[in-house]
Amino acid sequence: MLFADLPPELHEPVACLIEAAIEYNVPANILLAIAEKEGGKPGQWVRNTNGTYDVGPMQFNSAYLKELMSHGVFESDVAAYGCYPYQLAAWRIRDHIYNDQGDLWTRAANYHSRTPAVNAVYRADLMTKAERWSEWVEQHYITYEVNLDGLAASMQFILKPITLAPETSAVKTLESKTPPEAKSDTAADTDKPVITPAARANDAQ
């Protein structure tokens, strides 16, 4: 069994996250680490001190739901069971990684907050968790380094089979056939795939 080394309650979420990482061409270990940090559950609404809510398994902030609604995505989709919320998160993280400013980890941490002090705390823990997931991903999948334009030289990776030093081994994508809308990997890319409920996989419970 592929996920025999993970607790049973993680089998379905991890399978969804791996699938989403492949589909949207984002580093699988970063997506897994963000999911671990967010720690949400289907149907969950967590109230924040500023009056907003964090919703569903990937804890989308309710302030972001207005943008999602412009794509035909609603609160019930974000809070749903199954893989769809993880696909939404991968789509959003991909946009941060390819289009935001800063190093890779700052961009990824923008999923949680763009406020510098808050981002820095999240970023530090994200790197630790991503390193651990990096080791797990490498044990189970063929992985490749990632080359992202617009990043500092120390954060640039070359697409080739990886044998990495610990300080760089935390950025992985899985070998896959990437959908046309997810192929671009430049910081200038502003095209975002439109995700609608009609496009979700038939895996919602």
How far is Cα 27 from Cα 120, in angstroms, rounded to an integer?
19
Confidence of residue 61 (pLDDT cuts 50, 70, 90): confident
Ranges 9-23, 65-79, 104-118, most confident: 104-118
In the three-class reduction of DSSP (H, G, I as helix; E, B as strand; rest coil), residue 173 is classed as strand
Q: Where along the chain do its domains lie?
A: 9-193
Residue-averaged pLDDT of the chain: 74
pLDDT of residue 95: 92
Name the token pair of 14: 């991890």
How far is Cα 157 from Cα 151, in angstroms, rounded to an integer?
10
197 within 8 A of 88, measured Cβ to Cβ = no
149 within 8 A of 185, measured Cβ to Cβ = yes
How far is Cα 194 from Cα 32, in angstroms, rounded to an integer?
22
Confidence of residue 143 (pLDDT cuts 50, 70, 90): confident
pLDDT of residue 182: 40
How far is Cα 98 from Cα 185, in angstroms, rounded to an integer?
6
pLDDT of residue 13: 87
Q: Is the dihedral of CA 170, 175, 180, 185 positive or negative?
A: positive
Lowest model confidence (mean pLDDT) among 25-34, 113-122, 191-200: 191-200
Give how far Cα 37 sits from Cα of 2, 24, 139, 146, Å: 23, 20, 22, 22
Lowest model confidence (mean pLDDT) among 44-53, 114-123, 149-158: 149-158
Question: Which stretch of DSSP H or E encloses residue 99?
Answer: helix 84-99
Of the two residues 122 and 168, the one the predictor is more confident about is: 122
